[in-house]
Structure 1
Amino acid sequence: MNLQNDPALSPASFRLEGGLMSLDPRDPAFYENPYPAYRRLIEDGGIARWDAIGGHAVARYDLVAAILKDRRFGRIVPGNPEGRPDFSQKPVHLRAFYALESNSLLELEPPTHTRLRGLLTKAFVSRRIERLAPQISAIADGLIDAFPHDEPVDLIAAYASPLPVRVIAELIGVPASASDLLLDWSHRMVAMYTPGRSVEAEHAANGAAEDFADFLREIVEEKRKRPADDLISALIAAETEGGRLDRQELISLVVLLLNAGHEATVHQIGNGVKAILQSGADPAGLFTDEARAQATIEETLRFDPPLHLFERYALEALDLPGGVTLARGDKVALLLAAANRDPAAYADPDTFRPERYLEKSTKIPTSFGGGIHFCIGAPLARLELKIALERVFARCPQLQMTASSQYRDSWHFHGLEKLEVTAGARRDLT
């Protein structure tokens, strides 16, 4: 077993006994390396009550994969027949934030979820994603060209962060000049999902939601007058088809795509570079052909994914293994990254080994979720990750870490605060 993931190295705040787990998600020892605690939970049966999140934590691959697809569970317990959440009791100082959330695909169930996802899928066609490949490569090359030649560079700030936001802005139809604003709004809104968030963080998130929505309303009006070949224009066309998409729904969909379309990809690029560099593998050998490149991408998604938690709620009374009985409305916390390291699903799970995905029998990672809430942006995320990793390792063959990296205090959104590297001489691939 990889000593870094030895269950004996679980954080001091971790306790597991009698089906009850005690663990502070803001314990630095946990968010820096959650895998020893995950292994302990799996070895104890893979499910335990975790009061810090107000439900049962589920870590076993088979259970996580099954619950993601089980329609007895939902992202919310719908407050009405339309499958919408009831946010009427939310604090007044979060009104703008929950106005967006109330129309977010992540907070909806059928039939509204079915309608909106169908419209988004129609606009989010594969050809629109595929033709972004040359632009993603160009953006990556421009960022790599700007790396300093003789001093360390923070790969998160200089590469992993700006690349996805520029890509998603181009896809959706938002000016690239607004990238810094989009990043700021996204970071403030995502902080709402951090356990133990402060009131100050709530006010910041609400202000970001308000500014973000105002900004997009202006963009939508411009696109309505002058449509282009972008996602906003495609959604506006859907909006006019018999009133099947109203203005607030359109704004919420675009906010979700802009936030989810870059936040997780930033972390996955950073986590992927770190995993490859620390694995001892020759990066040049990981991208020699399409099959190996795709296998490498799947292994980075399995080994250290950016999303560690998806919440689901029981929509009816039911039983889970281990004598766990759930009532309607009870929450389960699906630990995606724990499932990806389950020894029952993956041989030698704590070793970064891309060749496992050259075998057709290897289970797909749970990193993009499953069922009706499977990540609609997964094809774009895989494409960005593949190009970002290929380009940086091909053009910087001497890339190496120069300092120990640190993860952010946002356990379930697992990503590096900073990844300091030296790039060495840049290779020209033109």
Structure 2
Amino acid sequence: MTTSSFFSIDPVARRVSLNARDPAFYNNPNAVYAALHAECPTFYWEQQQQWYFTGYDHVNGLLRDRRFGRQILHVASREELGLPAPQPHLKNFDLAERHSLLEIEPPEHTRLRTLVNRAFVSRHVEKMKPELAELANRLIDAFAEKGEVELLSAFADIIPVTMIARMIGIPEEMGPQLLKWSHAYVRMYIFGRTPEDELAADQAAEEFADYVKTVIRERRAQPRDDLLTHMITTEHKGQYLTEDELVSTTIVLLNAGHEATVHQIGNSVRVILESGYAPAELFKDEATTERTVEETLRICAPVHVFQRWCLEPAEIDGVSFQRGDKVAMILAAANLDPTKFSDPLTFKPDRNEAPNLSFGAGIHFCIGAPLARLELNAVLPILFERLGGLRLKKTPEVKDLYQFHGLDKLELSW
């Protein structure tokens, strides 16, 4: 049995006590994941009151297992499951989530994803590479002569939100407001959220939805060559998206299209700077750049936890689940499974082992993965090439957002 000031592991009972809000954990979750892999890769998390899986094969399998899903009310009622009624103070948030690609199952998920998927395939997003290079260079021009920068606010925050806004057809000048709404919105997913977090998320959802509706009205009147117009005007088996579906889809694309990538740009820069590798070697050509990016995604994934409802009785790793149970998969821990990755806590850019699970798997595999990968592969080499001698000015501050692992600040100098 392992114990420390903020966690304990009982491998016999498969019980873990872990305070996810303790800085000792969220500053370095990989160390805890290593302990879990060694003693108890499948465990009941006391504070969260549900089962968690960290093993690569179990996580990969659960992400693809159709006995588990992101929603449950399509197969059972709240009364049957003993779930509480919707909370009135979250009505705007719940409405925005009702048709979210992240939260629905087939056939609705299939219909929405089919309409959106075309915009995110690799061959389409690849055309955005020159735009990405221009934007990255323009941002670097603004601080290159200063010799120091807080990278998140000056660079990482701006690139993903600008690119996803361009794709959808949202004016770029809305970027700062989109970030504010998104940051408030995603706090609904953190452990230990407060009533204030919930009220702020609901207000953000209401304002976000109202804004998206105004843009939808504009596109109906004046169509453009953008994703929002495509979603409005394209039918799937004789059906068009409703306004609520358009709003939910636009919100989830804007949130997911930048939130994780912002974190990953910061995480990747930090890992590279702490690795001791020369950036010129890591980014000498497209192949080495791609391997470097995939290794940073493996060792410091931006999204740590995804949850599923059990839709029918199932047994995973000796644990029995009934319809209505919730299970969770720790993607970031699966990426550190020592049965799949040699010396898993070490950054090895020349790895040729299992693919990382940072974008998930199965029907809910991240639709924006090609765009996120393009952004990372395009802007990281430019950053390190333009700022020779780049180094950490201060020890980076990690956000108290366990599920979304990222930095609060990344102060650099050169």
What TM-score bracket applies, with the shorter chain setting the length?
A: over 0.9
In structure 2, relative to structure 1, the CA distance for the partners of 1:284 and 1:147 (3 Å cut) is same
Contact 1:77 1:315 survives alignment (8 Å): yes
Q: Does 1:413 align with 2:404?
A: yes
> How far apart, in 1, do the equivalents of 2:121 and 2:267 lie?
28
1:69 maps to 64
In structure 2, relative to structure 1, the CA distance for the partners of 1:164 and 1:156 (3 Å cut) is same
1:262-290, CA deviations, whole angstroms, 9 ceiling, x for partnerless residues? 00000000000000000000111111111
Question: How many Å apart are 1:177 and its aligned residue?
Answer: 0.6
Q: Does 1:212 align with 2:191?
A: no
Q: Does 1:385 align with 2:381?
A: no
> How far apart, in 1, do the equivalents of 2:295 and 2:167 lie?
26
Q: Does 1:142 align with 2:135?
A: no
Structure 2 stretches lacking a partner, 5+ long = none
Contact 1:11 1:27 survives alignment (8 Å): no
Counterpart residue identity of residue 116, structure 1? L
Q: Does 1:279 align with 2:275?
A: yes
> How far apart, in 2, do the equivalents of 1:414 and 1:240 lie?
36
Question: How many Å apart are 1:79 and its aligned residue?
Answer: 3.1
**Please, which of 334, 349, 354 is the counterpart of residue 354 of structure 1?**
349
Question: How many Å apart are 1:367 and its aligned residue?
Answer: 0.3
Question: How many Å apart are 1:124 and its aligned residue?
Answer: 3.6
Contact 2:120 2:370 survives alignment (8 Å): no
Counterpart residue identity of residue 389, structure 1? L
1:142-178, CA deviations, whole angstroms, 9 ceiling, x for partnerless residues? 1111115345311111111111111111111000010
Contact 2:233 2:240 survives alignment (8 Å): no
> How far apart, in 2, do the equivalents of 1:290 and 1:123 lie?
23
**Please, which of 310, 332, 340 is the counterpart of residue 337 of structure 1?**
332
Report percent identity of matched pairs: 46
> How far apart, in 1, do the equivalents of 2:4 and 2:165 lie?
39
**Please, which of 43, 61, 64 is the counterpart of residue 48 of structure 1?**
43
1:381-400, CA deviations, whole angstroms, 9 ceiling, x for partnerless residues? 00001112111011112111
Contact 2:232 2:240 survives alignment (8 Å): no
> How far apart, in 2, do the equivalents of 1:406 and 1:354 lie?
24
1:103 maps to 99
SS of alignment partner, residue 164 of structure 1 = helix
SS of alignment partner, residue 332 of structure 1 = strand
Counterpart residue identity of residue 283, structure 1? P
Counterpart residue identity of residue 114, structure 1? T
1:112-153, CA deviations, whole angstroms, 9 ceiling, x for partnerless residues? 111111111134444441221111111111111111534531
2:285 maps to 289
In structure 2, relative to structure 1, the CA distance for the partners of 1:138 and 1:339 (3 Å cut) is same
SS of alignment partner, residue 109 of structure 1 = coil
**Please, which of 30, 36, 60 is the counterpart of residue 35 of structure 1?**
30
SS of alignment partner, residue 325 of structure 1 = strand
> How far apart, in 1, do the equivalents of 2:401 and 2:84 lie?
27
Structure 1 stretches lacking a partner, 5+ long = 1-6, 425-430
1:13 maps to 6
SS of alignment partner, residue 397 of structure 1 = coil
2:117 maps to 121
> How far apart, in 2, do the equivalents of 1:241 and 1:230 lie?
21
Question: How many Å apart are 1:39 and its aligned residue?
Answer: 1.2
> How far apart, in 2, do the equivalents of 1:125 and 1:237 lie?
19
Q: Does 1:178 align with 2:174?
A: yes
1:371-414, CA deviations, whole angstroms, 9 ceiling, x for partnerless residues? 01000000000000111211101111211101111110001100
> How far apart, in 1, do the equivalents of 2:19 and 2:407 lie?
19
**Please, which of 330, 344, 363 is the counterpart of residue 354 of structure 2?**
363
**Please, which of 296, 303, 316 is the counterpart of residue 300 of structure 1?**
296
> How far apart, in 2, do the equivalents of 1:342 and 1:126 lie?
28
Contact 2:119 2:125 survives alignment (8 Å): no
Counterpart residue identity of residue 53, structure 1? Q
> How far apart, in 1, do the equivalents of 2:183 and 2:235 lie?
28
With 155-164 and 262-271 compared, the bigger mean Cα shift is at 155-164
> How far apart, in 2, do the equivalents of 1:225 and 1:81 lie?
40
In structure 2, relative to structure 1, the CA distance for the partners of 1:249 and 1:363 (3 Å cut) is same
SS of alignment partner, residue 149 of structure 1 = helix
In structure 2, relative to structure 1, the CA distance for the partners of 1:88 and 1:53 (3 Å cut) is closer
Contact 1:54 1:331 survives alignment (8 Å): no
1:376 maps to 367
Q: Does 1:235 align with 2:210?
A: no
In structure 2, relative to structure 1, the CA distance for the partners of 1:133 and 1:123 (3 Å cut) is closer
> How far apart, in 2, do the equivalents of 1:11 and 1:218 lie?
52
Two-structure CA RMSD over aligned residues (Å) = 2.0
> How far apart, in 1, do the equivalents of 2:190 and 2:315 lie?
29
> How far apart, in 2, do the equivalents of 1:124 and 1:369 lie?
16
Contact 1:42 1:342 survives alignment (8 Å): yes
Structure 1 consecutive aligned stretches of length 4 or more whose deviation exceeds 6 Å: none
Counterpart residue identity of residue 367, structure 1? S
> How far apart, in 2, do the equivalents of 1:137 and 1:67 lie?
37
TM-score of the pair, normalised by structure 1: 0.91
**Please, which of 266, 269, 292 is the counterpart of residue 270 of structure 1?**
266
2:248 maps to 252
